[in-house]
A and B are shown apart, each in its own frame.
Chain A
């Protein structure tokens, strides 16, 4: 906390010292804005480039130096549509939505418990959750493949649903925990004094307060599940393959493929962009809610 201004000695020396600082303060935000724009453009440029390349012909996509001005064509999008993207989109949608629903069903009560009703070993439990993310996925793929093969669940979309649920659960619990910690205890006490049951105080008091957090958590889970490639490529084949697996089918070692790949990538990125756009308001609330104490 800043010290009260009345306690600050009002000397001329202080005024002289403050003046350059004020000038610096004016330059600082401007510099920060420029830096933010540079970083923002730096992050956005690959996406812009992907979208631009999607409208090029293959030969234009490979020119050196790269061409910014070209005759746009929808040829690549036609190729992507005729390649049968439908089942891949459906599989991705199913795995993403189902896993996110399961994650929320499990993570919200778990996070409620560890943040609002902590017990002695809560910290250990939290550490256990996050420790499951410490092993690289590639280190676990052989046993997972063998188990999935033995139970006859290879190339089955439910396998991905289970794995994506497990993959996102620790992150969701930790995220939701930070949101639950923002809920004032007094709210729960007031609900309890009014005679609300646990279920009712959860449903009508806590969940509305943390709904931005749920939106933020859902979006993170959706993005992670939608983009997941490693499990999908190793555990699926013809029937349960998802969008990222569809994408790599455009990479060929013999021939030109940049424009087709960019068109397919643009198509596949759209659902996540739409999901982010829908959750935008809640997400901004959620991010500021969780981050600023």
Chain B
């Protein structure tokens, strides 16, 4: 509110407002106009809205390059389906996961479709939170659900074997290494490396004086950060989180061996600041030529082979996830699209499925490739993608390795010894988001040198016991 000027007592009562005063009230008037305009727009809580006879579909997505491409291409879907208008809510992974979980679990109904992974899908399907997509797929001509990579399809199925989410893209993990550096040093990467091979190569190639680290591995806290590669190491070392009776196993000799190996490898031959390195940081280090090896998601190949972003494009070799005891050590992860049950009540399921089936159809990959470039095609969801000649040519350095890694991943049998859970780089129980994060903080502190790996596991065991006990009580 503009302050009134101080008045003299002898001011004439009906003097005309001076231009100065009008100018002073200008911002106030402008504010009032803006507010009125805004309240007109936002009065019902919505800025804009669907037109007559249009259905608005709101999709919550995780912000990543492939989804940004989908948003860019979505006007084509709207043009083909004029009765549907799309709205995207794009959030970073942590925010999206928390937001989507809260919305679906409490039946908030803000979203008609949600982007979730193979961690959530089987659990939410069992809870009855998601729409069964099998009947919808069967009704859609040419959708060809049998074309999905079987491991991915299995990972997105509920307890009844039906699919409750459709994959947008999938990934496993593999080892990326600098072919030129290996050749110079006279090291040959085995067809199936072991972690001991990797440690020996890292030792040979580690040259911090010249800005070269032996290997980049994630050390950043977070169940989706350091825990993802570490869990695959633990699995192949013969470790497991719980035995079939839900007794926590984080202080078992195998778990200790895996944790000590991982921490030693990162501390001795890792990149500087490893305790705060995640996918993006390692991607930068490796792409800038500062690391000889990088063990991470198969989608990383798209970054390291992009000459605009990477200095090592064309010089990178790809090997399967290193092993020790268990032979298929790569993880399995897929970002997929599901329809919450609330869409049934809102009557938007049919329209939502039309969009989902468009985005996960066999035609989507060729469309992305043709319009945005073949390196933009979402990998790891459909087998037919790997039969597109242009895509195979564009991704020949890593396409087959990606497909093989995903096909070999078996999240129903992730460990050497039997376990009561599924999931390779995670334990598919609701408590794991918290448990995994807590354990990752301990492990990250060990990577940072604030404690030993054994001390980290002693504390982690306490957390895991608490979770295990709740399942033991349930079982009684």
Residues of chain A having any CB pair with chain B under 8 Å: 58-59, 62-64, 87, 90-91, 93-94, 97-98, 101, 104, 145-146, 149, 153-159, 203-204, 207-208, 211, 214, 233-234, 237-241, 245, 248-257
Contact = CB atoms under 8 A, between A and B. Distances in A.
A87 B47 contact: yes
B309 A93 contact: no
Contacts of A245: 91
A204 B300 CA distance: 67
Contacts of B279: 253-254
A253 B224 contact: yes
A263 B419 CA distance: 47
A97 to B, nearest CB: 6
Contacts of B245: none
A256 B63 contact: no
Given A97-B31, A155-B45, A256 B102 contact: no
Contacts of B58: 237-238
A97 B35 contact: yes
B309 A87 contact: no
Interface string B226-266: 00000000000000000000000000000000000000000
B276 to A, nearest CB: 13
Contacts, number: 142
Interface centre among B87, B110, B279, B283 (most CB of A within 10 A): B110
A203 B3 CA distance: 9
A222 B229 CA distance: 43
A172 B91 CA distance: 32
B174 to A, nearest CB: 15
Contact of A251 (B92, B103, B106): B92
Given A91-B47, A254-B299, 7 more contacts: A97-B31, A104-B1, A237-B89, A240-B47, A248-B95, A250-B92, A252-B280
B417 interface: no
A256 B284 contact: yes
A253 B4 CA distance: 53
Contact of A204 (B4, B60, B111, B278): B4
B110 A155 contact: yes
Interface residues of B, number: 58
B229 to A, nearest CB: 14
B39 A237 contact: no
B95 A203 contact: no
Contacts of A255: 64-65, 280, 303
A250 B87 contact: no
B63 A252 contact: yes
A157 B48 CA distance: 13
A218 B2 CA distance: 12
22 contacts: A59-B308, A91-B42, A145-B108, A208-B5, A211-B3, A238-B88, A239-B45, A239-B87, A245-B91, A251-B63, A252-B65, A253-B62, A253-B224, A253-B279, A254-B64, A254-B279, A254-B299, A254-B300, A255-B65, A255-B303, A256-B280, A257-B280
A64 B47 contact: no
Contacts of A63: 288
A64 B4 contact: no
A259 to B, nearest CB: 12
Contact of B106 (A145, A211, A256): A145
A245 B91 CA distance: 7
Contacts of A250: 63, 92
B4 A207 contact: yes
B49 to A, nearest CB: 8
B98 to A, nearest CB: 8
A90 B41 contact: yes
A248 B102 CA distance: 18
A157 B45 contact: yes
A114 B147 CA distance: 71
Given A58-B309, A157-B45, A238-B58, A249 B64 contact: no
Interface centre among A104, A208, A214 (most CB of B within 10 A): A208
Contacts of B303: 254-256
Contacts of B299: 254
B309 A256 contact: yes
Contacts of A157: 42, 45, 47
Contacts of B38: 90, 93-94, 97
A85 B476 CA distance: 54
A214 B95 contact: no
B99 interface: yes
Nearest to A205: B6
Nearest to A93: B38
A258 B145 CA distance: 37
A96 B34 CA distance: 12
Contacts of B285: 64
B89 A146 contact: no
B90 interface: yes
A245 B280 CA distance: 21
B399 interface: no
B7 interface: yes
B89 A238 contact: yes
A238 B110 contact: yes
B152 interface: no
Given A64-B290, A97-B35, A98-B35, A59 B46 contact: no
A233 B111 contact: no
6 pairs of A and B residues whose beta carbons are closest in the complex:
A156-B45, A251-B92, A237-B110, A211-B3, A249-B90, A238-B87
Given A234-B99, A254-B279, A97 B34 contact: yes
Interface centre among A59, A158, A204 (most CB of B within 10 A): A59
Interface in B323-347: none
B93 interface: yes
Interface in B28-52: 31, 34-35, 38-39, 41-42, 44-49
Interface centre among A59, A87, A90, A252 (most CB of B within 10 A): A252
A253 B42 contact: no
A211 B3 CA distance: 6
Interface in B178-229: 224
A165 to B, nearest CB: 14
B284 A94 contact: no
B171 to A, nearest CB: 9
